[in-house]
Amino acid sequence: DSGVTQTPKHLITATGQRVTLRCSPRSGDLSVYWYQQSLDQGLQFLIHYYNGEERAKGNILERFSAQQFPDLHSELNLSSLELGDSALYFCASSVRVSPNNEQFFGPGTRLTVL
């Protein structure tokens, strides 16, 4: 158990819908990262927040947005869902911003878009 929690574990929805994925980092960790794992794209970095501020963006679609709240939990919002958005979404946390810090991953949320 990494100490990072993600809810829900599974999510099934329809095209065009909007969903929210939630992540709680390990106690004391200020950085939260979101990654998408799909069969065709592999594991890809989406976005990084540190202490409430956006730090870096990767291959994140405009239909996707995220935020980190004062209690440090983070939410990833996916809207106008398409079949291709079906994937495993991971949240990871680390103590600080430095790339030297290992990132601890949550169990993931499996999103299925029908």
Partner 1 sequence: AQKVTQAQTEISVVEKEDVTLDCVYETRDTTYYLFWYKQPPSGELVFLIRRNSFDEQNEISGRYSWNFQKSTSSFNFTITASQVVDSAVYFCALSDNTDKLIFGTGTRLQVFP
**Interaction site with partner 1 (CB under 8 A):** 2, 31, 33, 35, 42-45, 48, 55-56, 58, 88, 90, 92, 97-100, 102-108, 110
- Structure token digits, residue 32: 């939260």
Name the residue nearer to partner 1 (CB basis): 71 or 98: 98
Closer Cβ to partner 1, 14 or 40, answer by number: 40
Distance of CA 76 to the CA centre of its chain: 6
Of the candidates 105, 93, 101, the one whose C-alpha atom is nearest the C-alpha of residue 25 is 93
Q: Cβ closer to partner 1: 18 or 57?
A: 57
SS3 of residue 92 by DSSP: strand
Rounded least distance, CB 7 to partner 1, Å:
14
User: CA-to-CA distance for 16 and 113, rounded, in angstroms?
Assistant: 9
Residue 112 Cβ vs partner 1, minimum distance, rounded to whole Å: 14
Minimum distance, C-beta of residue 16 to partner 1, in the bound complex (Å): 27
* Smaller CB separation from partner 1, 81 or 106: 106
C-beta of 102: minimal distance to partner 1 in Å? 5
Compute the Cα dihedral for 51, 53, 57, 61 and give only its sign: positive
Bridge partners of 89, per DSSP, are: 36, 109
